[in-house]
């Protein structure tokens, strides 16, 4: 039994040794795998860091380009705003100047029209007064001529002298011609007072 126990013990020792050997092999393989994994991880980390640096560099370049473009756009917007404000101010000044000129022209035209109108009214009133006086003179002349004609007719109808009757007839004919001419003048005056 002792020999069996020592055989069992020896077998157990061998198994333990085998297990230790297997454990050492597994440990060695694990160490090697861990070393490979670590080196792969370090390599991948370095690649990732390089890629990250490249991406960050691209991002930084894009960011700086974006900032540059943004600054350029802001400058363009400010320039456009300034130009627009300047153009608006110029347009307002121009419109104000045009309105002032229009108002001045209107005031001048109004004064001229008022003075022209009042001058024309005064001139027409003077012309009308002159025409009234002429008309009154013509009417007085017509009445005088008519009364003279009546006197000549009365004198012509009275039988005094045969030679005086001819002279009276001649005078009467002249007076009738003058009355007819005055009637024509009065008719023309009544139809067109400015023609005289």
Residue 79 within any structural domain of the chain = no
180 vs 106, which has greater pLDDT? 106
Q: Which residues of 155-191 are buried (b: 16+ CB within 10 A; e: fewer)?
A: ebeeeeeeeeeeebeeebeebeeebeebeebbeebee
Check residue 159 and give its pLDDT: 57
**3-class DSSP assignment, residue 160:** coil
d(CA 29, CA 50): 31
Check residue 194 and give its pLDDT: 55
Average pLDDT over residues 147-154: 74
d(CA 13, CA 18): 8
Residue 29 within any structural domain of the chain = yes
Within 10 A of 152 (CB to CB), how many other CB atoms are there?
20
Q: How many domains does the chain have?
A: 1
Residue 58 within any structural domain of the chain = no
% residues pLDDT > 70 (the chain): 87
Residue 25 within any structural domain of the chain = yes
Average pLDDT over residues 129-133: 83
Is the pLDDT score of 195 beyond 50? no
Residue 95 within any structural domain of the chain = no
Check residue 196 and give its pLDDT: 46
Residue 63 within any structural domain of the chain = no
Is the pLDDT score of 190 beyond 90? no
Mean pLDDT of the chain: 82
Residue 151 within any structural domain of the chain = no
Which pLDDT band, with edges at 50, 70 and 90, does 192 fall under? low
**3-class DSSP assignment, residue 80:** helix
Check residue 165 and give its pLDDT: 64
Residue 117 within any structural domain of the chain = no
pLDDT tens by residue, 60-111: 999 999 999 999 999 999 999 999 999 999 999 999 999 999 999 998 888 8
Q: What is the DSSP letter of 159?
A: -
pLDDT tens by residue, 10-55: 788 888 888 888 888 888 888 888 888 889 889 999 999 999 999 9
Is the pLDDT score of 160 beyond 60? no
**CA–centroid distance for 3 within its chain:** 124
Which pLDDT band, with edges at 50, 70 and 90, does 158 fall under? low
Segments forming the whole domain that contains residue 45: 18-49
Helix (H) or strand (E) holding 143: helix 2-157
């Amino acid at each position: 039994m002792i020999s069996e126990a020592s055989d069992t013990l020896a077998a157990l020792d061998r198994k333990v040794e085998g297990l230790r050997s297997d454990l050492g092999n597994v440990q060695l393989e694990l160490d090697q795998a861990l070393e490979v994994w670590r080196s792969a991880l370090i390599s991948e980390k370095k690649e990732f860091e390089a890629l990250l640096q490249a991406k960050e560099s691209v991002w930084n370049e894009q960011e700086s380009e974006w900032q540059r473009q943004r600054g350029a756009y802001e400058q363009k917007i400010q320039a456009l705003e300034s130009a627009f404000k300047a153009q608006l101010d110029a347009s307002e000044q121009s419109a104000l100047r045009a309105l002032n000129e229009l108002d001045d022209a209107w005031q001048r035209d109004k004064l001229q029209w008022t003075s022209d109108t009042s001058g024309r009214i005064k001139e027409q009133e003077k012309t009308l007064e002159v025409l009234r006086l002429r008309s009154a003179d013509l009417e007085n002349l017509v009445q005088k001529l008519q009364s003279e004609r009546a006197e000549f007719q009365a004198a012509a109808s009275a039988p005094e002298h045969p030679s005086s009757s001819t002279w009276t007839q001649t005078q009467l004919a002249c007076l009738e011609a003058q009355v007819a001419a005055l009637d024509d003048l009065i008719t023309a005056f009544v139809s067109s007072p400015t023609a005289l």
